[in-house]
Amino acid sequence: MSVADQHSPSVPEHCANCGAALSGPYCSACGQRVDTQAHSLGHFLGEATEVLIHADSRVWGTLLPLLRRPGFLTCEYFAGRRARYLQPFRLYLILSVLFFLLTALLSREPASLAVKPHADPKQSCADISFNLPGSSWLVPRVRAACERVVADNGREFGARITHNLGRALFVFLPLMAALMKLLYWRPRRYYLEHLLLLIHNHAFVFLLLSIFTLTTHWVSSSGPQTLLGLGMIAYVTRYLYRSMKAVYGQSGFMTLMKFSVLGMAYVICGAFMLLATMFVSAATL
């Protein structure tokens, strides 16, 4: 046997991960790549570079259409063109975590409530009462939560709300998707179509809010911040309307009517969700 044969690795017949028979550079059962090269630093860095380049192409191939083409990713998903984009649920998680992380890192000062310095928690919360049936069990709990909020000027309360909002959206989005199924009951559509459109739209909002947070962090003047905020609201409104029109293919008038109904329901349900989140956050301090 020659020296070259001694150092050249043999091609395995079975996958090292799952044991399935191999017929190419990737396992047909688990998808793992057949690694026949020496485990050198150069080989490791080459594989890492390949993974980063591939991931980068998928990220940009997803984020750019998400920002510029309303409803496009949802239509692509149901057309079967999915491998070139990030999965909807993963995209939503990444962008929501990014937004809340940026909000926490770039906030100029910790979130707090307008409480008088050195206020007595028990005295500040002593007047809380409810004239509701069966509220006797609720009042002591609300007072205890109020005392904990006043004790640290609401800083922990604000952080807990930010943390719980992400969880609340996991309940909120399926409920809104059920409402959209009622709005689009003819022709019949699957519930998943409505849910994925909401996931993509909320991912877009989180991405835009992240960009807005980064931009306004470096802009100290209130005038440009107000203009940027108004421009963002206008763009979000137009984007959401066009996404519904692109996915469902109805006329502009019908889409506008349903968009208005959905918008009002969103504001009402969102207010209840925020109040529930605040209550749970205060109760779990």
pLDDT at residue 154 tops 80: no
- In DSSP terms, 33 is beta-bridged to 26
Is the CB of residue 15 less than 8 Å from the CB of residue 9? no
Tens of pLDDT, residues 65-82: 999 999 999 999 999 999
Predicted local distance difference test score (pLDDT) of residue 120: 59
pLDDT at residue 111 tops 50: no
- Tell me the C-alpha distance between 130 and 126, whole Å: 12
Q: In this predicted model, which residue has the larger pLDDT, 51 or 47?
A: 47
Tens of pLDDT, residues 53-69: 555 668 888 999 999 99
What share of the chain has pLDDT > 70, as a percent? Answer: 74
Domain boundaries, the chain: 3-36, 87-112+154-283
Is the CB of residue 125 less than 8 Å from the CB of residue 147? yes
Predicted local distance difference test score (pLDDT) of residue 45: 64
What share of the chain has pLDDT > 90, as a percent? Answer: 36
pTM of the model: 0.73
Predicted local distance difference test score (pLDDT) of residue 204: 97
Average of per-residue pLDDT values in the chain? 80
Predicted local distance difference test score (pLDDT) of residue 104: 78
